[in-house]
Structure 1
Amino acid sequence: MLERGSDTLIMTGTKDTQPDDETNITLRLQATCVDNRDGSSTVFASAAREVSKLQKVGHSITAGVSVATISVPSGTDRVMRVQKRETIQDPTFYQGFYTLVRNFAREEKKRN
């Protein structure tokens, strides 16, 4: 779902999916609508995909005095870490988006 940003001409949205227990995929879309001042508008869009996975992170405890310091493992935690971040370049993705924009514009025009 797109949400209006602070500037009403720029809209951003995110969609999160979790294909398995250890992976999260976030899709971010930004669309900018520019008034052509002739009754038409131009829409620019860009999207990015981010894949995060759970990873184990080790912790250690450090004790000592100035020259003699000892570190020992104290356990692990599982945290989400970004594995890949990429701009979506698939023309089919953008064609689908622009088809939706055209359909919404037609419906809006019918109402007015």
Structure 2
Amino acid sequence: MTAFLDVLGQAMAVLGGLVFVAAGVGLLRLRDPYMRTSAVATAAGVGVVLVVGGSVLTSPTVSDLAKLFIAVVLQLATSAVGGMTLARAAVLSGHAFADGTDTAALEPGERPGHG
């Protein structure tokens, strides 16, 4: 069983690393700050969970499981909030959207509760 957990943990860590590589490629290839923010926030949430979860599986202890739980909860909460904050800052600073992006919900008279 220990060998299986070790292999699974290593596979999860490698997969998490690949998620970060994909996010890095996304930073170079995506067209506007909003798409880039989405890629990075998603990678932060998923990639960290996979890497930390994989490292815990290679050496599972009760204290490491508690640390994993805390790290996952904090990472998922902060990556979502951070991603939304960066996107909002880009909107407020006037960064252009990529061609073809529907921005109708951002018009002052179109937002729910603001019309």
Give the number of the structure whose residues are more often helix, by fraction.
2
Structure with more contact order per residue of length (Cα contacts < 8 Å, sep ≥ 6): 2
Larger radius of gyration: 1
TM-score (norm 1): 0.28
Choose between structure 1 and 2: higher strand proportion. 1
Taking structure 2 as the reference length, what is the TM-score of the superposition? 0.28
